[in-house]
């Protein structure tokens, strides 16, 4: 009942033309795939151009971040209304790179998740522990804090479109993928948290992606896990061959 969802996080890569080319190739090669929901997240400056390429396709457009206000004196920021204006359906929030390098906190993640839900953008809210936190046995307490923080003050009526991405920071861009069992343990825990905050039925309907060194050759085993509903893909989403390979491996 939870449709698998694969999203490509292009991070700070690809100028407008290569971004349009990749989007065009994905659109052609993934035509007709409807058993998997698919999205790509280019940089802000390529959103508009990629949106035009993807028009009428089965690929959705995602931003990599947003600010929680629609307009005003907030130099350098981009709000929900602007993302919708260029055709975004999704927005990635609280990626570990933003938490680590750009001072994103549980509070700012919460404001962003609220703003995206209010505007009708689907938030892909990222959580995940650092290697020292895992080694210290703190994984689940870190995840609990991040999930509760992200969802503070968000009602049962507002939350359904939400997607959560569990991305252990030690697995991102390292080639060191979590084992299916390690991922499942945390995914199950996140679903339990959702059941405690909301209710078990709602928790059962929310998709939880895994992220961190996902490749065509490891996605199948990850997807066998009952609480794993797709992936947020970084490096392997920058090449049509590998991104299509991931989707075709499960579709």
Spatial separation of the C-alpha atoms in residues 111 and 4, rounded to whole Å: 26
Q: Which of 135, 173, 217, 220 binds ligand PGA (CB under 6 A)?
A: 173
Selecting among 37, 104, 133, 167, the annotated active-site residue is: 167
Between strands 90-93 and 59-63, the pairing is parallel
For ligand PGA, the binding residues in 221-250 under the rule CB under 6 A are: 232-236
Residue 218 within binding range of ligand PGA, rule CB under 6 A: no
In the complex with ligand PGA, the residue whose CB is nearer, 198 or 233, is 233
167: annotated active-site residue: yes
Query: Could you say which of 95, 129, 133, 187 is catalytic?
Result: 95
CB-CB contact of 62 with 23 (8 Å): no
Distances (CA, A) of 237 to 106, 150, 178, 234: 27, 26, 18, 5
Say whether residue 62 binds ligand PGA (CB under 6 A): no
Close Cβ partners of 236 (under 8 Å, ≥ 6 residues apart): 214, 215, 216, 242, 243, 245, 246
CA-to-CA dists, residue 17 to 13, 14, 21, 131, angstroms: 11, 8, 6, 37
- Both tokens of 230, joined, read 């797709």
Work out which of 183, 214, 219, 246 binds ligand PGA, going by CB under 6 A: 214
CB of 145 to ligand PGA, least distance (A): 20
Residue 167 in contact with ligand PGA, rule: CB under 6 A: yes
> Which residue in 172, 222, 240, 244 binds ligand PGA (CB under 6 A)?
172
Residues in contact with 141: Cβ distance below 8 Å, sequence separation at least 6, in sequence order? none
Q: Could you confirm whether 103 is annotated as catalytic?
A: no
Looking at beta carbons, which residue is closest to ligand PGA? 234
Q: Tell me if 168 contacts ligand PGA by CB under 6 A.
A: no
Active centre residues (catalytic): 95, 167
């Amino acid at each position: 009942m939870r449709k698998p969802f694969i999203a490509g996080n292009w991070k700070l890569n690809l100028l407008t033309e290569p971004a349009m080319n990749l989007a065009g190739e994905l659109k052609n090669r993934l035509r007709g795939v409807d058993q998997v929901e698919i999205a790509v997240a280019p940089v802000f400056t390529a959103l508009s151009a990629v949106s035009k390429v993807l028009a009428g396709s089965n690929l959705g457009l995602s931003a990599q971040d947003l600010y929680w206000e629609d307009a005003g004196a907030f130099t350098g920021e981009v709000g929900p209304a602007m993302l919708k204006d260029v055709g975004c359906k999704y927005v990635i929030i609280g990626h570990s790179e933003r938490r680590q390098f750009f001072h994103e906190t549980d509070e700012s993640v919460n404001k962003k998740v609220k703003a995206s839900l209010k505007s009708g953008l689907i938030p892909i809210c990222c959580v995940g522990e650092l290697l020292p936190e895992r080694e210290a046995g703190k994984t689940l307490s870190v995840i609990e804090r991040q999930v509760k923080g992200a969802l503070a003050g968000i009602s049962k009526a507002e939350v359904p479109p939400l997607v959560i991405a569990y991305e252990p920071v030690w697995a991102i861009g390292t080639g060191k993928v979590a084992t299916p069992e390690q991922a499942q343990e945390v995914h199950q825990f996140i679903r339990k948290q959702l059941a405690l905050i909301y209710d078990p039925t709602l928790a059962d309907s929310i998709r939880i992606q895994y992220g961190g060194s996902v490749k065509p050759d490891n996605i199948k085993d990850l997807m066998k896990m009952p609480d794993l509903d797709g992936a947020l893909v970084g490096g392997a989403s920058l090449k049509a061959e590998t991104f299509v390979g991931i989707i075709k491996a499960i579709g």
